[in-house]
Amino acid sequence: MLESTLEKMAEKILSLDEASLTGLLEKYKARMENFDTSQEWEKAVIVFFIINSVRAKNHIFNEKVVALQKNPESAPAKPPKKGKPDLRLVK
């Protein structure tokens, strides 16, 4: 259940626009820097790091795409499927 919840959260986060998220970064950074023991402060910290994680993910993704465009031979080979082949009985 926990894993499923986290994956659903990730799907929702991935659907958000990075530019819009970046626009909120300073707001949550300021809130995070103004420590108190409230739940709102805790949420602000989580939101701040979610925004940064999306930015980091996009940065890594873009670097890898550029590297692949420069050198397509360096693309990792897809491992062969294990188990039975996907076959159907046709009559």
83: left (phi over 0), alpha (psi -120 to 50) or beta: left
Using alpha carbons only, give the angle 4, 25, 48 rounded to the nearest 5 degrees.
40
**Residue 37: what pLDDT?**
95
pLDDT digits (tens, 9 = 90+) for 27-78: 999 999 999 999 999 999 999 999 999 999 999 999 999 998 888 776 666 6
The whole-angstrom distance between residue 49's C-alpha and the CA centroid of its chain comes to 11
What pTM was computed for the model? 0.71
